[in-house]
């Protein structure tokens, strides 16, 4: 054992502490998260070491964390029954910085106090964050398995040095006592402490206990105060659902948890829960909601995925964990590798995060593929047709088509959403439901995630000149292509009705060639990134001179050439008359009934995109 010794902090610690004690913090309260997380880590370590040495549990098998305060002494104490610290460990672990995350943080310090204070607020600095609120910290500990006399007391006021001494400590584990600064007395309040614990540590799987308080009237009914009852009660839910084995979790529990984290009233369409092992270890529990939130179109929003590190909450909407086109996904990712004090900036750069992002993206695409496989097509199920829009449905200009559209929508809404959602077993309609809500967002992936472009393209569905339902995949289309057809034809328009009645479709209708109808605002942009599917080029019927190639017979080609010849003088006059308005005027074979139509030059901006940009004021 050691006798009372004064030791200097490692230079980096001293620097860090100076910063901690000399800066103002926007979120002081993170100190509690850090200390509870250390307590929880210490319990995890004991549990792990005790696998081989059950004697380490001594006569106290209970792993728990207790948070207590003494309003008179102005102290706050966090006690755990974890592995504890030996005297040497206290010197090593509480006198130096071993964490790579903190070192990285230190390297980013600029020396500008204000900027650095902001940085530190984002990071949290582990054990030393106690000095944000305390002007003195006392740690008393004994390592599990060591005799009571080999306990240690570590004391520091967060200046250049700390003091260690041996103490007798019968009880295993660690107590960290914070002697609070005058401006931190708000933490001497049970309600305040509970609310911080609920915010950051609810999912710690150990019980976090606080002593129950009761209101007691003063003498002669004068005044009164909360007094401790000596009874301890858990203040966290200890419900880290994702850290439990799948087989122990019911569908209902999964759904409840989803509702809890998403604030959604409806059940999700699907979820996926996995523990990923290997170079990067993490647990993912990801959900596909049944309904789009109001702010789905805000691309800055970030995915609804919460990041935890070893069951400690780190941040909401961690956008680095999933690409933006999967921002509808909700859930939890719990990393075993990231430092607790990771910031959004660091997340962007971390290799672990990159691996998590790739793994999670694949997982979500896999879930969607699964739903798509189980989706019955409209003809199989005889279900109504679905109208996909981006929320703002434009009234259809053509009365006949307009009516069809309205009927389609009614048919769709005819299935009560809640009922369908409650029935997780029935997978047959889920993909259509997903697609109606989120299909347009998914398309952004074509431009955003080149590595998965093929998989995304396979997940896309469209209406077509022969199908009202938004259910035609590129593969379906290809399987129905006419002999001699060598392109996938599509048209973009504001509404289904406008697309279907476009004069540019006439020749395709006549020849019985299917054309995909694209009416989402993102289609035009997204298709810039998809020039072919499975070896077959995509061709807009509204661009350039549509070459029907082998689909056109000799007589038709000849007739077209002759017409071009005989109409030459007329074309010249039209070109002259439309000089400022049209680049070119030519004879076409694409029209059957209409006398003329506008087309865009190959490689030119489509009329729809041009309109979109104009609307956006460009
Ligand atoms: P980190 O938890 O990321 O390692 P901290 O600064 O929070 O960094 O803690 C530093 C070290 O101090 C820990 O790694 C651990 O060895 C030790 N430590 C802190 N709190 C406790 C505790 N309650 N029980 C046992 N060891 C602890
Ligand atoms: Mg820690």
Phi and psi for 75 in degrees, rounded to 5? -125, 155
Distance CA 413, CA 503 (A): 31
- Ligand 2 (ion): residues with CB under 5 Å are 38, 126
377 CB less than 6 Å from ligand 1?
no
pLDDT at residue 604, as a whole number: 60
Tell me the residue length of the chain: 618
Which of 281, 332, 272, 274 shows the shortest CA–CA distance to 303? Answer: 332
34 CB less than 6 Å from ligand 1?
yes
Nearest CA to ligand 1 atom 14: 93
Residue indicated by tokens 């206290």? 90
For residue 569 the two structure tokens come to: 């003088």
pLDDT at residue 467, as a whole number: 85
ipTM above 0.90, yes or no: yes
Distance CA 175, CA 166 (A): 15
Q: Ligand 2 centroid vs 184 CA: distance in angstroms? A: 21
pLDDT digits (tens, 9 = 90+) for 423-433: 555 678 899 99
Q: Ligand 2 centroid vs 23 CA: distance in angstroms? A: 21
Q: Which of 34, 41, 120, 310 to mutate to test the pocket of ligand 1 (most atoms within 8 A of CB)?
A: 41
pLDDT at residue 556, as a whole number: 72
pLDDT at residue 16, as a whole number: 80
pLDDT at residue 384, as a whole number: 35
pLDDT at residue 149, as a whole number: 96
Asked if 135 and 178 count as a contact pair (C-beta separation under 8 A), the reply is no
Which of the ligands is closest to the CA of residue 127?
1
Asked if 360 and 288 count as a contact pair (C-beta separation under 8 A), the reply is no
pLDDT at residue 24, as a whole number: 52
85 CB less than 6 Å from ligand 1?
yes
Q: Ligand 1 centroid vs 38 CA: distance in angstroms? A: 5
Distance of CA 549 to the CA centre of its chain: 46
Maximum alpha-carbon separation in the chain: 114
pTM exceeds 0.90 for this model:
no
Supply the DSSP string of 367-389, one letter for each residue: HHHHHHHHPPPHHHHTPPP----
Low-confidence ranges of the chain (pLDDT < 70): 22-27, 98-106, 108-109, 111, 113-124, 239, 260, 263, 294-303, 377-426, 544-553, 589-595, 597-598, 600-618
Nearest CA to ligand 1 atom 12: 93
pLDDT at residue 415, as a whole number: 35
Which of 241, 243, 235 shows the shortest CA–CA distance to 254? Answer: 241
pLDDT at residue 315, as a whole number: 77
For residue 58 the two structure tokens come to: 């001594």
Distance CA 480, CA 173 (A): 70
Tell me how far CA of residue 380 lies from CA of 45, 175, 214, 368, 429, in angstroms: 56, 66, 65, 20, 11
């Amino acid at each position: 054992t050691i006798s009372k010794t004064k030791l200097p902090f490692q230079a980096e610690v001293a620097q860090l502490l100076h910063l901690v004690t000399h800066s103002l913090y926007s979120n002081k309260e993170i100190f509690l998260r850090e200390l509870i997380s250390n307590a929880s880590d210490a319990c995890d370590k004991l549990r792990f070491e005790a696998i081989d040495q059950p004697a380490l549990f001594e006569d106290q098998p209970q792993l728990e964390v207790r948070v207590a305060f003494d309003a008179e002494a102005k102290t706050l104490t966090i006690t755990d029954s974890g592995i504890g610290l030996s005297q040497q460990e206290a010197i090593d672990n509480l006198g130096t910085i071993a964490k790579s995350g903190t070192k990285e943080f230190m390297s980013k310090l600029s020396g500008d106090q204000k900027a650095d204070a902001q940085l530190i607020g984002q990071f949290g600095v582990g054990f030393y964050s106690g000095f944000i609120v305390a002007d003195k910290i006392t740690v008393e500990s004994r390592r599990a398995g060591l005799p009571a006399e080999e306990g240690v007391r570590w004391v520091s006021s967060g200046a250049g040095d700390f003091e260690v001494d041996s103490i007798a400590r019968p009880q295993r584990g660690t107590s960290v006592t914070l002697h609070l600064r005058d401006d931190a007395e708000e933490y001497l309040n049970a309600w305040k402490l509970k609310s911080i614990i609920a915010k950051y540590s609810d999912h710690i799987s150990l019980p976090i206990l606080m002593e129950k308080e009761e209101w007691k009237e003063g003498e002669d009914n004068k005044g009164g105060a909360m007094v401790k009852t000596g009874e301890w009660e858990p203040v966290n839910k200890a419900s880290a659902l994702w850290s439990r084995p799948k087989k122990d979790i019911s569908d209902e529990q999964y759904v409840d948890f989803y509702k809890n984290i998403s604030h959604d009233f409806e059940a999700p369409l699907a979820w996926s829960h996995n523990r990923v092992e290997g170079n990067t270890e993490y647990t993912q529990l990801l959900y596909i909601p049944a309904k789009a939130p109001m702010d789905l179109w805000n691309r800055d929003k970030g995915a609804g995925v919460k990041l935890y590190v070893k069951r400690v909450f780190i941040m909401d909407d961690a956008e680095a964990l999933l690409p933006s086109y999967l921002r509808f996904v909700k859930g939890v990712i719990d990393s075993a590798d990231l430092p607790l004090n990771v910031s959004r900036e660091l997340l962007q750069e971390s290799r672990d995060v990159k691996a998590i992002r790739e793994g999670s993206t694949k997982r979500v695409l896999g879930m969607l593929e699964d739903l798509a496989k189980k989706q019955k097509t409209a003809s199989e199920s005889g279900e109504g047709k679905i109208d996909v829009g981006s929320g703002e449905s434009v009234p259809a200009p053509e009365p006949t088509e307009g009516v069809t559209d309205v009927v389609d929508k009614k048919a769709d809404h005819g299935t009560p959403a809640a009922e369908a959602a409650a029935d997780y077993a029935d997978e047959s309609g889920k993909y259509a439901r997903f697609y109606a809500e989120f299909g347009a967002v998914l398309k952004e992936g074509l431009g955003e995630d080149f590595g998965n472009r093929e998989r995304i393209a396979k997940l896309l569905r469209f209406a077509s000149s022969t199908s009202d339902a938004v259910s035609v995949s590129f593969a379906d289309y290809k399987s129905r292509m006419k002999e001699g057809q060598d392109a996938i034809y599509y048209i973009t328009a504001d509404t289904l009705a406008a697309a279907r009645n476009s004069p540019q479709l006439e020749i395709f209708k006549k020849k019985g060639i299917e054309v995909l109808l694209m009416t989402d605002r993102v289609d035009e942009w997204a298709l810039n990134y998809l020039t072919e599917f499975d070896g077959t080029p995509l061709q807009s019927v509204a661009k350039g001179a549509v070459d029907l190639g082998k689909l056109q017979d000799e007589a038709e080609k000849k007739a077209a050439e002759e017409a071009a010849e005989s109409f030459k003088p007329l074309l010249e006059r039209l070109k002259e008359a439309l000089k400022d308005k049209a680049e070119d005027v030519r004879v076409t074979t694409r029209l059957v009934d209409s006398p003329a139509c506008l087309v865009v030059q190959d490689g030119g901006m489509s009329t729809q995109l041009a309109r979109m940009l104009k609307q956006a004021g460009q």
